[in-house]
């Protein structure tokens, strides 16, 4: 099953960034599969098209999610890479944003001179990476009209799925339609299009493959519904990720939103408390449960009640509930038809959706 770990691949394609790696890795993987390139794949979530999170192919292509935590991505030897964004995450290890940026600089420096760097032109930190490698660089963006690949005329349907025109070097390239919600996924798709085009994949093949991508598990995933109330689950555990989810939600048609958030790690909650509170105010009804410790012990003197209190100082009501069964009961007593319930976090919060539906 894991034979790919001992093989040497001539064309390793890494998808990096502090957010969006799983979705973009999935999109790129589907494009290579659709093109018949038989890639080996390693992605950080279950991708239904391969019935798991890895696939062993027989070609030279290895598409993988390149994680920056503890600088593990420096152990890879990428021929090409996408860098989606650089944000202040994993501060328990990096301590500050400057150290994160330095790690990404070292990562892109691994690219060979005949390699490829695809970067987000809307992210200033990403754009600076072009000077850290001799590899060819390609840019994508929505706000930066000078990018090589730009999305224009973006519209959303009632599901929050985008349709948009792609321009390549200011010339119309193709119209794209997504089957996942949110503006952030327009950017993810653009990065995929840019890389796959450089690999010679036909634009209509790219269009078909991206349309077939309906999401990896725990990425704004529809868990189920009852009484016309929809339950979604999302892995977001950083303020920027939660904001992207909130913005994606706004493009859907619904009555009210109910968010159940489980903070992930004490260090992240402590260091980004103000940012978490601010982004959570984008939802109509807010429930906070206990912090998921993951690898940590609470040496930070922080609790979920601190987050609740911080949200209240911003003029928004929030409710702290520890027990998952109590949360499910709370939601079932209050949510109404046409509401959306969203469980958010990288821990065990995903269990609550099933309890609500039980």
Task: Verify that 185 and 263 share a domain, yes or no.
Answer: no
Name the pTM for this structure: 0.84
pLDDT of residue 168: 98
Note down pLDDT in tens along the chain; length 358 residues.
344 455 667 899 999 987 888 999 999 999 999 999 999 999 988 888 998 999 999 999 999 998 887 888 898 889 999 999 998 777 777 888 899 999 999 999 999 999 999 999 999 999 999 999 999 999 999 999 999 999 999 999 988 899 999 999 999 999 999 999 989 999 999 999 999 999 999 999 999 999 999 987 777 888 999 999 999 999 888 898 899 899 889 888 899 999 999 999 999 999 999 999 999 999 999 999 999 998 889 999 999 999 999 999 999 999 999 999 999 999 999 999 999 999 999 899 999 999 999 8
Q: Quick one: CA dihedral 77, 108, 182, 69, positive or negative?
A: positive
Phi, psi at 121, each rounded to 5°: -75, -15
Do 229 and 181 reside in the same domain of the chain? no
The candidate with the shortest Cα–Cα distance to 346, out of 220, 223, 237, is 237
Among residues 12, 18, 22, 350, the one annotated as catalytic is 22
Using CA atoms, how far apart are residues 193 and 208, in angstroms rounded to an integer?
11
In a shared domain, residues 254 and 180: no
257 and 199 housed in the same domain: no
Q: What is the count of structural domains for the chain?
A: 2
**Which of 162, 180, 212 is at the close of a domain?**
212
Q: Beta-carbon neighbour count of residue 121 at 10 Å?
A: 22
Pairing of strands 229-234, 257-261: unpaired
Indicate if 244 and 263 belong to the same structural domain.
Answer: yes
- Residue after which a domain boundary falls, among 166, 193, 212: 212
Regarding whether 298 and 158 lie in a shared domain, the answer is no
- From the number of C-beta atoms within 10 Å of its C-beta (0-12, 13-18, 19+), residue 72 rates as exposed
Q: Are residues 195 and 277 in the same domain?
A: no
Reply yes or no on whether 102 is catalytic: no
CATH number at residue 271: 3.90.190.20
- Cβ neighbours, 10 Å, residue 48: 12
Residue 8: the pLDDT is 60
Q: Is 65 a catalytic residue?
A: yes
Last residue of a domain, one of 194, 212, 230: 212
Q: CATH number, domain at 66?
A: 3.40.1190.10
296 is catalytic: no
- The pLDDT of residue 130 is 97
115 & 14 share domain: yes
Catalytic entry in 65, 68, 71, 241: 65
The residues near 96 (Cβ < 8 Å, ≥ 6 apart) are 88
Active-site residue identified among 12, 21, 252, 343? 21
191 and 58, same structural domain? yes
**CA atoms of 17 and 265, how far apart (whole Å):** 20
Domain co-membership, 107 together with 248: no
53 and 192 housed in the same domain: yes
Residues 186 and 335 in one domain: no
Domain that holds residue 281: 221-357
Asked if 330 and 301 touch (Cβ cutoff 8 Å), the reply is: no
pLDDT at residue 3, as a whole number = 45
Instruction: Give the CA distances from residue 45 to residues 21, 49, 217, 273, 304, in Å, rounded to whole numbers and listed in that order.
Output: 10, 12, 6, 27, 27
């Amino acid at each position: 099953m894991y034979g790919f770990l001992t093989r040497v691949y001539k064309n390793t394609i890494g998808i990096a960034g502090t957010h969006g790696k799983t979705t973009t890795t999935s999109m790129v993987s589907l494009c290579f599969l659709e093109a018949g390139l038989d890639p080996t794949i390693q992605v950080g979530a279950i991708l239904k098209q391969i019935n798991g999170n890895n696939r062993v192919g027989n070609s030279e292509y290895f598409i993988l999610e390149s994680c920056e935590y503890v600088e593990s991505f420096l152990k890879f030897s990428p021929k090409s890479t996408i860098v989606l964004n650089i944000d202040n995450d994993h501060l328990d290890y990096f301590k500050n944003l400057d150290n994160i940026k330095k790690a990404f600089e070292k990562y892109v420096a691994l690219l060979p001179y005949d390699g490829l760097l695809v970067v987000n032109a809307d992210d200033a930190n990403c754009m600076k990476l072009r000077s850290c490698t001799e590899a060819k660089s390609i840019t994508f963006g929505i706000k930066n009209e000078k990018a090589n690949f730009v999305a224009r005329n973006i519209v959303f349907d009632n599901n929050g799925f985008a349709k948009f025109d792609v321009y390549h070097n200011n010339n119309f390239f193709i119209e794209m339609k997504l089957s996942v919600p949110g503006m952030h996924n327009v950017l993810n798709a653009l990065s995929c299009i840019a890389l796959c085009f450089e690999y010679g994949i036909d634009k209509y093949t790219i269009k078909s493959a991206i349309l077939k991508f309906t999401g990896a598990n725990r990425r704004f995933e529809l868990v189920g519904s009852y009484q016309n109330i929809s339950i979604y689950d999302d892995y977001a555990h950083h303020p920027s990720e939660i904001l992207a989810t909130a913005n994606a939600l706004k493009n859907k048609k619904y009555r009210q939103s109910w968010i159940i958030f489980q903070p992930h790690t004490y260090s992240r909650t402590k260091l980004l408390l103000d940012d978490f509170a601010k982004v959570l105010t984008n939802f109509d009804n807010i429930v906070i449960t206990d912090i998921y410790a993951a690898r940590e012990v609470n040496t930070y003197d922080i609790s979920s009640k601190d987050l609740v209190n911080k949200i209240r100082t911003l003029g928004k009501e929030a409710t702290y509930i520890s027990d998952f069964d109590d949360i499910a009961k709370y939601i079932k007593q209050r949510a109404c038809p046409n509401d959306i319930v969203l469980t958010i976090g990288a821990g065990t919060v995903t269990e609550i959706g099933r309890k609500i539906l039980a």
